[in-house]
Amino acid sequence: MQTVACPSCGAPVAFRSHASVLAVCEYCRATVLKERDAVRDLGKMSEVLEDYSRIQLGTSGIHGGRSFTVVGRIQLRYDAGMWNEWYVLFDDGSDGWLGDASGQYVMTTRREPAPGWPAFEAIQVTRQYDVGFGPYVASDKRVAKCIGGQGELPFRVGAGWEARVADFRRGPSFATLDYSDANVEQPAPLLYAGTAVTLEGMKCQLLRDDEQIKASAGKVRGKVDVLQCRSCGTSIRYLPGLAANCVCPACATRMDASSPEVEVLLKGEEHERVRFTLSLGAVAKIGAQTYQVLGALRRADDEGETWDEYLLYSTQGPFFWLVETSEGWSRSEALDDWPTPPLPDMRNVQVDGVAYTRSWAYPARVLYAAGAFNWRVKAGDVVQVAEYEHGQNGLAAEYTQEELTWSRSSPVADDQVRAWFQLPAAGAAKNAREPMRQRDIAWKALLWILGLNFIPLLFNFTATFFLIALGLVALFLPMMLAPDKQS
């Protein structure tokens, strides 16, 4: 470890890794550049936005039989959201990166790219490329900007620094081609490769607890908070730091609540709300965990068939979707271990040794969105969908020009969903209306009988008035006293 004095404030700045060339002073936020025989102040580094990650500088764990420690971080934002890249130092002196996005993690280390690597502009999502160790499918392509940083880093970076990256997947394996510093003299991208991981699987220590997160971010990670729509004042339940892209259910205003100052992305207009089976904020008890509906979508295919999707979250579990179609309910979760072959235009794919056959391919358009989501979404968004089946279970690939995702679904009985959310049984409403229908029929029948018998009485109305009144009471009094089961 090397310790230098901050050229801005004089505080000690530690460089744990010999590969680190830059560190952010924790006292004055100065960006300290380490040169051969001196250090230089490159200016202030922006603080990371509301920090809800469980990871922090000093978090340690084990990956691939090697112990590691988190020593730095950069925070990156792109059109649809943001993510963290944590710089880690292994106990053998090597380094790597721990990607952290919406509760999903990947660990990668530096590798040599294969000859014939593609140009950034030429990469097409869903196509396969050999990045150095066999074919991988391009899963993501984006341009992001650095919005903050902490600790020490292996290259020069500052607020506004632009990252041009493409991600690739094969099964649980993951790779990134980083074109950020590629130029005419050095056109080759940097290659980082590794695998999807979990914090529990890496036996991570010194993770932040709820109180530490609240102290830095102002709110507890995973606790649903309420945001007032900046346009109409409607309350929106959202998840700070994880599902902070909000769409007002009343006026469709889109907001980004991932930073201290809520940003209005697009002002909406008053419109009729779409009726969903599950309401925003509805709570479900699923096993030992409590889930809450954060967002709801209505989507349609190119033939006009519609279905609804609900985003659910628990503080003890990851996001998942409940999908409601004309055929019933299903539960869908994002995959970390992707199918092989991974392309959505293949006829057959395998996951965990199980073969799935493609059944449908179609565009899906968002007709209506309301609530909070872990990415930016709006009415009119279109993705291409390829569905695969194996018995009652299914896979779905959803892709655009920028991103490809895979999810696995399984059917859920309607009675099970109603039990989770404590909804009335499917036939309860129908049965409740039935007594009213029967009484309506009885009333109409009595009116017809009265009408037919009233005609001859008109010719001698004075003499028969008492009898008419008595008959009316005898006919209608039982119906009036009959209990109304619907009330």
* C-alpha span between 247 and 267 (Å, rounded): 10
What does the pLDDT look like over 241-293, one tens digit per residue?
Answer: 666 778 888 787 877 776 656 665 555 544 456 789 999 889 999 988 888 89
Q: What are the residues facing 173 on neighbouring strands?
A: 170, 195
Report CA 434 to chain centroid distance, whole Å.
42
> pLDDT at position 270, please?
47
State the pLDDT at residue 435: 46
d(CA 237, CA 480): 47
How is residue 317 written in tokens? Answer: 């579990």
Length of the chain: 487
Alpha-carbon span 124 to 67, nearest angstrom: 36
Q: CA 195 to CA 438: how far, in whole Å? A: 65
pLDDT for 433 equals 44
Distance CA(321)–CA(333), nearest Å, equals 6
Could you say which residues of the chain have pLDDT below 50? Answer: 39-42, 269-271, 429-436, 485-487
Q: Would you give the end-to-end CA distance of the chain in angstroms?
A: 76
Cα-flanking dihedrals φ and ψ of residue 380, to 5°? 105, -15
Q: What is the pLDDT of residue 257?
A: 74
Residue 395 pairs in a beta bridge with 388, 408
Backbone region of residue 78 per phi and psi (left: phi > 0; alpha: psi in -120 to 50; beta: other values): beta
Assigned token pair, 200:
């529990």
Total-model pTM: 0.75
Which pLDDT belongs to residue 140?
94
Burial label for 466, CB within 10 Å (0-12, 13-18, 19+), is exposed
Give the whole-angstrom CA distance, residue 407 versus residue 389.
12
